[in-house]
């Protein structure tokens, strides 16, 4: 197994979970491969009149429990294999939360920062033109992911509506409020992780005033910093793709948010409010209670894992810890709240958005928050219990929890579904 084959790494977790359940081997066989991955080359007109092409994918990993669901990522390192691994994680994430969805994921290999706003819009519309035939509110429902946002989802929803000739807001979630988005979707990923951490804090040995280090200051990282700081916890270190900042007595989170809102890196705050620069790869070594990886995959691996000093790791990113690193964290007594549970608040509020779109009836923010909290606490508690009973890490317990639901659905479908044609 090559170390950077992401889908192979993801499948290690499936094998581990399967060992703890009496499960039909057919179930594992079905979950080991993506159902379909579609690839397209998107050709767009650049502002200077030239044409440029970008490679793009949409993977529908498994749809046994419902339409496939998952974000679209814009990243220069995006690949087919990464989209498939992320779609695999979505399959398990939706099952963990008992959402009526399967798993999917999309990607475009592009550095979105190199495009103008109108080029970005043309690229996003081209994505929908290429994949519209496999999307749909009952088929495959995209959402934001790394370097995509509500503005992009708005363009995509508009393009889809034009293609099908009618309003179809439920085809995409994470839309702007004006186009049928849900209140509370913007900070849902972080808020879900926050509810989960607070709910299990006592059992995990976390105290009143935690020291927190956050890797990544995008949608997830920014919001978790704000939520935890508001409760009096100290955010001692934060990084983004340009570098990291540290302050022993706690960073000024408002200052960091203002810098990001103005398009500046977190390191632009160095020298203000006691903020000091620190090497980005030292962030995970920060002396803290809670470490929050909120950036990309495989950031904590065999070679740097021994530096982790935190008691708890809250995975707001997808796949930030490799299986090797997992084993070392377990040996060192570090609790990992795994991605398929910890960052599932995002897709859960996406589900609420889809429900609201289909009902044509929109909820208040308090309702979104209370429903999210109920689900996070219920599934989190159940997984905690499984981990205690089976004496396994939270990740294995989360996979066991999801696998039970997936196996029940696969078995209930009967054998025909294994070979269903498009």
Nearest to 146 by CA among 339, 296, 266: 296
Q: Is 105 labeled as catalytic in the residue annotation? A: yes
Nearest to 191 by CA among 333, 370, 26, 8: 370
Q: What is the DSSP string of 377-393?
A: HHHHHHHHHHHHHHT--
* Among positions 69, 125, 222, 369, the unique one binding ligand GLU when judged by CB under 6 A: 69
> Which residue stretch of 69-77, 121-129, 224-232, 270-278 sits at the interface with ligand GLU (rule: CB under 6 A)?
69-77
Contact between 70 and ligand GLU per CB under 6 A:
yes
Residue 70 or 293 having the CB closest to ligand GLU: 70
Give the distance from CA 360 to its chain's centroid: 27
Contact between 145 and ligand GLU per CB under 6 A:
yes
State the minimum distance, in angstroms, from the CB of residue 88 to ligand GLU: 12
Q: How many angstroms separate the CA atoms of 293 and 315, rounded? A: 5
Strands of 112-233 (E only): list them. Answer: 140-141, 211-215
> Which residue stretch of 66-74, 76-84, 176-184, 199-207 sits at the interface with ligand GLU (rule: CB under 6 A)?
66-74
Angle at CA of residue 344, ends 339 and 345, nearest 5° = 135
Rounded alpha-carbon distances, angstroms, from residue 15 to 1, 99, 327? 14, 23, 15
Residue 54 or 147 having the CB closest to ligand GLU: 147
State the minimum distance, in angstroms, from the CB of residue 140 to ligand GLU: 10
CA atoms within 13 A on the CB side of 355: 13
Strand order from edge to edge, sheet including 276-278? 276-278, 243-246, 234-240, 211-215, 290-293, 312-314, 335-337
Residue 173 or 286 having the CB closest to ligand GLU: 173
Residue 240 or 297 having the CB closest to ligand GLU: 297
- 169 secondary structure, DSSP code: G
Contact between 318 and ligand GLU per CB under 6 A:
yes
Residue 160 or 246 having the CB closest to ligand GLU: 160
State the minimum distance, in angstroms, from the CB of residue 416 to ligand GLU: 28
* Among positions 124, 150, 173, 322, the unique one binding ligand GLU when judged by CB under 6 A: 173
Subset of residues 338 to 357 that bind ligand GLU, contact rule: CB under 6 A: 343, 346-347, 350
Q: Which one of the listed residues 30, 69, 105, 234 is annotated catalytic?
A: 105
Residue 285 or 316 having the CB closest to ligand GLU: 316
Contacts of 93 (CB under 8 A, 6+ apart): 103, 339, 340, 341, 343, 344, 347, 402
Q: How many angstroms separate the CA atoms of 245 and 233, rounded? A: 17
Residue 120 or 347 having the CB closest to ligand GLU: 347
State the minimum distance, in angstroms, from the CB of residue 78 to ligand GLU: 13
Contact between 218 and ligand GLU per CB under 6 A:
no
Q: How many angstroms separate the CA atoms of 380 and 96, rounded? A: 9
Nearest to 15 by CA among 405, 400, 341: 400
* Paired tokens of 370: 């209370």
Nearest to 170 by CA among 293, 352, 320, 300: 352
State the minimum distance, in angstroms, from the CB of residue 339 to ligand GLU: 8
Cβ–Cβ under 8 Å, residues 239 and 216: yes
> Which residue stretch of 37-45, 65-73, 396-404, 414-422 sits at the interface with ligand GLU (rule: CB under 6 A)?
65-73
Residue 246 or 354 having the CB closest to ligand GLU: 354
* Among positions 56, 95, 108, 143, the unique one binding ligand GLU when judged by CB under 6 A: 143
Q: How many residues bind ligand GLU (CB under 6 A)?
A: 13
Binding mask 367-386 for ligand GLU (x = CB under 6 A): --------------------
* Among positions 34, 66, 71, 106, the unique one binding ligand GLU when judged by CB under 6 A: 71
Minimal CB distance to ligand GLU: which residue? 71
* Paired tokens of 377: 């606490």
Contact between 83 and ligand GLU per CB under 6 A:
no
State the minimum distance, in angstroms, from the CB of residue 272 to ligand GLU: 32
> Which residue stretch of 63-71, 216-224, 270-278, 358-366 sits at the interface with ligand GLU (rule: CB under 6 A)?
63-71
Q: How many angstroms separate the CA atoms of 417 and 412, rounded? A: 10
Residue 333 CB coordination number (10 Å)? 8
Q: List residues near ligand GLU by CB under 6 A.
A: 69-71, 93, 143, 145, 173-174, 318, 343, 346-347, 350
Task: Tell me the catalytic residues.
Answer: 105
């Amino acid at each position: 197994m090559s170390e950077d084959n992401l889908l192979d790494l993801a499948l290690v977790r499936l094998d581990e979970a399967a060992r703890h359940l009496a499960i039909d081997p057919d179930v594992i066989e079905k979950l080991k491969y993506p159902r379909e991955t579609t690839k397209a080359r998107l050709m767009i007109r650049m502002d200077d009149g030239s044409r440029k092409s970008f490679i793009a994918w949409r993977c529908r990993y498994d749809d046994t429990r419902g339409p496939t669901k998952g974000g679209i990522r814009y990243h220069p390192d995006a690949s087919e294999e990464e989209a498939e691994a992320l779609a695999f994680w979505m399959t398990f994430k939706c099952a963990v939360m008992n959402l009526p969805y399967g798993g999917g994921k999309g990607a475009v290999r592009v550095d979105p920062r190199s495009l103008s706003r109108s080029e970005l819009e043309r690229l996003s519309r081209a994505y929908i033109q290429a994949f519209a035939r496999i999307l749909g509110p009952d088929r495959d429902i995209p959402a934001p992911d790394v370097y995509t946002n509500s503005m992009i989802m708005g363009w995509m929803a508009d393009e889809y509506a034009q293609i099908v000739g009618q309003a179809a807001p439920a085809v995409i979630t994470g839309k702007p409020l004006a186009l049928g988005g849900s209140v509370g979707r913007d900070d849902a990923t972080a808020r879900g992780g926050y509810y989960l951490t607070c709910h299990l804090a006592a059992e995990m040995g976390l105290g009143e005033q935690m020291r927190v280090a956050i890797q990544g200051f995008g949608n997830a990282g920014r919001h978790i910093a704000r939520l935890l700081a508001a409760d009096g916890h100290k955010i001692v270190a934060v990084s983004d793709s340009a570098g990291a900042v540290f302050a022993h007595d706690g960073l000024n989170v408002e200052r960091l948010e203002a810098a990001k809102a103005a398009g500046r890196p977190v390191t632009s705050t160095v020298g203000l409010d006691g903020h000091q620069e620190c090497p980005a790869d030292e962030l995970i070594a920060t002396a803290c209670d809670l470490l929050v990886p909120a950036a990309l995959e495989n950031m904590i691996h065999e070679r740097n894992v021994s530096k982790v000093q935190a008691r708890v790791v809250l995975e707001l990113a997808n796949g930030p810890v490799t299986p090797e690193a997992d084993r070392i964290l377990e040996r060192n007594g570090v609790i990992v709240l795994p991605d398929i549970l910890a960052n599932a608040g995002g897709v859960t509020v996406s589900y609420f958005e889809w429900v609201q779109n289909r009902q044509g009836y929109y909820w208040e923010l308090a309702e979104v928050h209370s429903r999210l909290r109920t689900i996070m606490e219920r599934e989190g508690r159940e997984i905690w219990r499984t981990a205690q009973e089976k004496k396994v890490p939270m990740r294995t317990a989360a996979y066991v929890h999801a696998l039970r639901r997936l196996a029940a659905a696969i078995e209930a479908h009967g054998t025909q579904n294994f070979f269903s044609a498009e």
